[in-house]
């Protein structure tokens, strides 16, 4: 039992689960599943059998399937784009205000689809999933690239009867996959909205990710990725929490952190006398939330896939790859983004035929601005779909 500020007992905080992944037997919530009808061949070699993708939809698919929109989530997102938290959904939707009747993705007109990415942990096949034989994949889960994930999503679209997306939209990791859709399947991508993403992961982005991966893999509870059978509280929570703290700093901007927290402290006035800075509490809060809703193995697999992102690989370079895009495209970046700076979106806009120029989302919130500034994203969505 811990003590509160005045020395009164505080209730114990329950130990986090070994993994925050969705598990068989958990409430299904609004998600559904598609099982791929054949093993997925992987870019690095080999194949992944028994793949299924969890997804959610809004609206109704037209008889000719011409009104389908694909929404692709970022690293720790999932298929629950909009809607409240509840059984089966540990957090509310991450883009509330974008999908629904009369909203930019108007469900009276559009059929909106959001899959949980392959390698994820909210219902799609990933390290926490049970494989043939009854064991978890764990550390045996194969290395994935963004192209592998998009190849799985293409089979998923086939299963839904969708030959061509009216719009593919994604930001950050979701933007990487959206770009892969437009380059790999140009005939299946009608319009394209790329938010806060690059043509290829840069050395600095890989470096930030490498430190996060190291934090997880050096956690003594990591066990080579085979920790899913541990008791409650026995997962690599310290490593995952540290990775989240580091990542979250890159997601926000220095001016925002300065304005919100400055040098303000909690409890004891001086941190060197037992107190701490409020910004530390803020990072602790985000770390604690993530370990209860995410899986460390998925964090590793998805981060490595993001590091692999290079639209020009085996395609004659970035410029040649971008020229393959046939979709009507808008590219936008956040003016305060220090993780995926505007220069990377300017490269995309300059290289994609007809993309013209990169649009700017004005936000004090850094990289997370593409999630927070919904009204500015809405303008871009309406511009693309209004003339589609």
Model confidence pLDDT, tens digit, residues 251-271: 999 999 999 999 999 876 666
Average confidence (pLDDT) over 85-114: 96
Is the pLDDT assigned to residue 28 strictly greater than 70? yes
Q: Which CATH architecture has domain 20-201+310-386?
A: 3-Layer(aba) Sandwich (3.40)
Question: What does the pLDDT look like over 180-208, one tens digit per residue?
Answer: 999 999 999 999 999 999 999 999 999 99
Is the pLDDT assigned to residue 11 strictly greater than 70? no
Is 337 assigned a catalytic role? yes
Sign of CA dihedral 25, 31, 36, 37: positive
Buried b / exposed e across 316-337, counting CB within 10 Å, b at 16+? Answer: eebeebbebbbbbbbbbbbebb
Is the pLDDT assigned to residue 387 strictly greater than 60? no
Is the pLDDT assigned to residue 15 strictly greater than 90? no
Is 309 assigned a catalytic role? no
Confidence of residue 14 (pLDDT cuts 50, 70, 90): confident
- pTM (two decimals): 0.95
Catalytic residue among 79, 124, 129, 172: 172
Confidence of residue 9 (pLDDT cuts 50, 70, 90): very low
Give the C-alpha distances (Å, rounded to integers) separating 355 from 172, 200, 359, 384: 18, 18, 10, 11
Catalytic residue among 73, 228, 248, 367: 367
Question: What does the pLDDT look like over 33-71, one tens digit per residue?
Answer: 999 999 999 999 999 999 999 999 999 999 999 999 999
Long-range contacts of 261-268 (CB under 8 A, 24+ apart): 267/5
Buried b / exposed e across 202-218, counting CB within 10 Å, b at 16+? Answer: beebbebbeebbebbee
The per-residue pLDDT for 5 is: 42
Is 367 assigned a catalytic role? yes
Task: Name the token pair of 227.
Answer: 């920790």
DSSP state of 200: B
Instruction: Determine how many CB atoms are found less than 10 A away from the CB of residue 315.
Output: 16
Question: Where along the chain do its domains lie?
Answer: 20-201+310-386
Question: What does the pLDDT look like over 270-290, one tens digit per residue?
Answer: 666 667 899 999 999 999 999
Q: At what angle do helices 237-251 and 203-217 cross, to 10 degrees?
A: 160
Is the pLDDT assigned to residue 83 strictly greater than 80? yes
Catalytic residue among 148, 295, 310, 337: 337
Is the pLDDT assigned to residue 108 strictly greater than 90? yes
């Amino acid at each position: 039992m811990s003590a509160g500020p005045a020395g009164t007992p505080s209730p114990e905080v329950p130990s986090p689960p070994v993994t925050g992944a969705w598990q068989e037997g958990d409430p299904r919530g609004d998600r559904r599943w598609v099982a791929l009808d054949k093993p997925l061949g992987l870019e690095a070699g080999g194949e992944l059998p028994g793949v299924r993708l969890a997804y959610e939809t809004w609206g109704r698919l037209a008889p000719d399937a011409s009104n389908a929109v694909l929404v692709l989530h970022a690293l720790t997102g999932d298929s629950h784009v909009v809607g409240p938290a509840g059984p089966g959904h540990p957090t509310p939707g991450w883009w509330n205000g974008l999908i629904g009747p009369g909203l930019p993705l108007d469900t009276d007109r559009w059929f909106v689809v959001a899959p949980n990415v392959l390698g994820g942990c909210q219902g799609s096949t990933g390290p926490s999933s049970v494989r043939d034989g009854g064991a978890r994949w764990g550390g045996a889960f194969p290395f994935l690239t963004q192209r592998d994930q998009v190849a799985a999503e293409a089979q998923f679209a086939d299963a839904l009867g969708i030959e061509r997306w009216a719009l593919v939209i994604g930001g950050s990791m979701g933007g990487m996959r959206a770009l892969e859709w437009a380059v790999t399947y140009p005939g299946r991508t009608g319009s394209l909205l790329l938010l806060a993403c690059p043509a290829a992961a840069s050395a600095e982005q890989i470096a930030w990710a490498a430190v996060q991966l190291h934090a997880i893999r050096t956690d003594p509870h990591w066990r080579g990725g085979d920790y899913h059978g541990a008791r409650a509280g026995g997962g690599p929570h310290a490593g995952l929490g540290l990775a989240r703290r580091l990542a979250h700093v890159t997601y926000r901007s220095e001016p925002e952190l300065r304005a919100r927290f400055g040098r303000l402290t909690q409890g004891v006035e001086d941190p060197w006398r037992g107190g701490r800075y409020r910004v530390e509490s803020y990072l602790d809060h985000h770390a604690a939330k993530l370990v209860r809703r995410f899986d460390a193995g998925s964090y590793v697999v998805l981060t490595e896939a993001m590091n692999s992102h290079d639209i020009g690989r085996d395609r004659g370079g970035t410029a040649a790859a971008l020229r393959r895009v046939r979709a009507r495209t808008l590219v936008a970046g956040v003016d305060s983004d220090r993780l995926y700076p505007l220069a990377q979106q300017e490269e995309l806009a300059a290289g994609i035929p007809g993309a013209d120029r990169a649009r700017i989302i004005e936000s004090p919130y850094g990289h997370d601005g593409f999630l927070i500034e919904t009204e500015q994203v809405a303008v871009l969505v309406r511009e693309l779909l209004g003339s589609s």
